[in-house]
Chains A and B, each alone.
Chain A
Amino acid sequence: MSYQVTHDQFRELFQMLTVTYRIYGPTLFVNKAEVSDCDYVGYRELLSYDDLITNVKSYFSPKEALFPPREVLFSFGSDHAIVPSDDLKPVIIFLRACDINGFDRLDTLFLQNGKDEDFYYKRRRDKVHFFLLECAQSFDSCFCVSMNTNTTAKYDAAFRFTDESVFMQVNNSVFESYLSIGELSDFMPRFVTENKSTVPVPDASIDEKIFFDPLWDEYSRRCIACGRCNTSCVTCTCFTMQDYSTGSDTSERRRRWASCHVQGFTDMAGGHSFRKKHGEKMRFKTMHKISDFKRRFGINMCVGCGRCDDVCPEYISFAECIRRVSKLSDQYKNDTDKG
């Protein structure tokens, strides 16, 4: 069923939801951007509808609701280890179609890779509901259509925010009682059907010769290995285990986000490391997003949200990188066919 409400009515029903649910959504982080006197839009728990930003692409992704940048796995005392208990309140996340598809990728890695499900991810994941934010238009750097992530059916409710009203479609009967107010509507969420940016994606079975192509040398010159692309990416899942002393005989075992671009990712005792050149790191990341993840799991890891393009301080466009790799892939295939 779909409904249409005023903004005031929506504010009230949002308040009702916060009694039972923790609501995450895009919101303004005032004066916290990397540039002075600027704000950015990121994800945080929202206490009121007034905090929800619905018309701007977020700088950081909603993945941190399930996979926070820093997570305590155990608290240690002199003779015990305690697993921190998790908040029992179920969670609602307001997010776009690309990000809902992103959570599919997170689920694949954390729940299906290897024979064990990730305990910490799973216990949060079991409590999450998705509230789809309809995209009024594609943002400049989006390429969700090329990645087949512009649509989704995996949402509990969908929303369109206009100047006058809020339209809601209830997809999960659990939310019927909260959202069945206002007028009945025939609202069905529309999805983006075209982006400014079209990105041909290469075959997953990529020619090995591409690994050694001089294309990556350009990225060695340009990439500064800051890791911003990884922290903004909705599907980056790498982390490092870390113990941290919190007192004379108390400590914590944590995991914190890691970036394959940032130095140290491959460092081993004894001094060995791999992919020292930034171009090699770029190649590793690129192949993970559009080649080897697909070979292992059947879907591409990249969902075309375009955040990495938005945040790169060196103006490296990942969409453009994929285009180049596609072109090379065709080239190498033609060469093989010919000779």
Chain B
Amino acid sequence: MKTKNHYETFALGILDIKPETSIDYTFCFEYNKPLNYGQFFELSIPGIGEAPISVSAFDENRMWMTIRKVGRLTDAIFNCKAGDTIQCRGPYGNGFNVKQFTGSDLIIVAGGTGLAPVRGLTRYFVTNKSACKSLHVITGFKSPSDILYREELDQWERDVALVLTVDKSTNTWTGNTGLVTEFIPKLPVLKSPHVQAIVVGPPLMMKFATLALIKDGVPQDNITVSFERNMSCGLGKCGHCKIDETYVCLDGPVFSLTKAMHLID
């Protein structure tokens, strides 16, 4: 039996582009196959390169990704328009297990672009109130100009307990200031027997946020994190994402904290 070539790409059509900040745009693509929140694809433009980008949200016919303009490939993607196609392969990774959070007192702590991979998941629990006992969201950004999905965050704030904070405020900012960790002790569900927490963001932020959650009684097993690594092949061959015996592209990028704590880089 002939082996399938898993490095082959398929065309991904751009339906819509929405700038969120000067360097973060949300791309809406045409895609209708099954997905899990938190999985990723290897996007590419032939001749320029490939990059791993996580899925932010999806429905039956479309998928959204928030992409930051940081290098050769993303610069080129930012030059695309609705109607263009780029190349793609995937999905890769395990993604979040929605069943795990169903019926829980769910806490979502997202730092910066870490909000992108949990956007769809959060939206699901905001719009399906009965899916969990309670929902608390803390999302923080470096400064007001870095905030993603402002309109949707404002919408969520009307429906669920949401804290939007910035590390550094400006003259015109009237919202919360402070690191996300400062708002964790105030959460009323920390000692609940049904508590589940999801933490996504830069490594240092995840470290301190998870420490804060544990300090206030959330069991390690009930905390879920998502890792970012320099995925190159996405297939478990190139070794770039390997941490100890774990391949982040195969066994992750979503891990329980119990497992993640022993992944020493």
Contact = CB atoms under 8 A, between A and B. Distances in A.
Interface of A: 73-74, 76, 81, 83, 109-110, 113-114, 116-120, 122-123, 208, 211, 237-245, 250-251, 253, 255, 258, 260, 265-270, 272-275, 280, 284, 287-288, 292-293, 295-296
B247 A113 contact: yes
Nearest to A113: B236
A162 to B, nearest CB: 41
Given A119-B4, A268-B228, A241 B238 contact: yes
Nearest to A294: B245
A270 B70 CA distance: 7
B130 interface: no
A114 B237 contact: yes
A118 B70 contact: no
**Chain A's interface: helix, strand, loop or mixed, by majority?**
mixed
Given A211-B264, A239-B233, 10 more contacts: A74-B7, A113-B247, A208-B262, A238-B239, A241-B49, A241-B238, A243-B50, A253-B46, A266-B265, A267-B230
Given A119-B7, A255-B238, A243 B47 contact: yes
A114 B228 contact: no
A270 B5 CA distance: 31
B245 A269 contact: no
Interface string B83-98: 0000000000000000
A239 B238 contact: yes
Nearest to B7: A73
A76 B9 CA distance: 12
Nearest to B48: A243
B229 interface: yes
Contacts of A239: 232-233, 237-239
Contact of B235 (A116, A287, A293): A116
Among the interface residues A76, A113, A123, A288, which one has the most CB atoms of the partner chain B within 10 A? A113
B57 interface: no
Nearest to B42: A241
Contacts of B74: 269
A74 B202 CA distance: 34
Interface in B39-61: 44-51
Given A81-B8, A113-B250, A240-B240, A265 B235 contact: no
B3 interface: yes
Interface range, B side: 35 or more
Contact of A83 (B5, B48, B68, B247): B5
23 contacts: A74-B8, A113-B237, A113-B247, A114-B237, A114-B250, A119-B6, A237-B237, A240-B240, A243-B46, A258-B232, A258-B239, A266-B240, A266-B265, A269-B51, A269-B70, A269-B71, A269-B74, A272-B202, A272-B203, A273-B230, A275-B265, A280-B265, A292-B245
B151 interface: no
A167 B130 CA distance: 77
Among the interface residues A123, A280, A295, A296, which one has the most CB atoms of the partner chain B within 10 A? A296
Nearest to B87: A81
Nearest to B241: A266
A258 B46 contact: no
B215 to A, nearest CB: 22
A267 to B, nearest CB: 6
Contacts of B8: 74, 81, 83
Contacts of A295: 245
A243 B245 contact: no
Nearest to A284: B265
B152 interface: no
A237 B236 CA distance: 11
B242 interface: yes
A4 to B, nearest CB: 41
Interface string B12-47: 000000000000000000000000000000001111
B237 A76 contact: no
B228 A272 contact: yes
A2 B83 CA distance: 68
B240 A265 contact: yes
Contacts of B264: 208, 211
Contacts of A260: 239
B237 A118 contact: yes
Of all A-B residue pairs in the complex, the 6 with the closest CB atoms, nearest first, are A251-B47, A114-B236, A238-B239, A292-B245, A76-B46, A274-B265
Contact of A258 (B4, B48, B51, B240): B240
Contacts of A208: 262, 264
Nearest to A77: B46
A266 B237 contact: no
Contacts of B244: 287, 292
A238 B232 CA distance: 10
Among the interface residues A113, A240, A269, A292, which one has the most CB atoms of the partner chain B within 10 A? A269
B103 to A, nearest CB: 31
A110 B237 contact: yes
Contacts of A123: 3
Contact of A288 (B203, B233, B242): B242
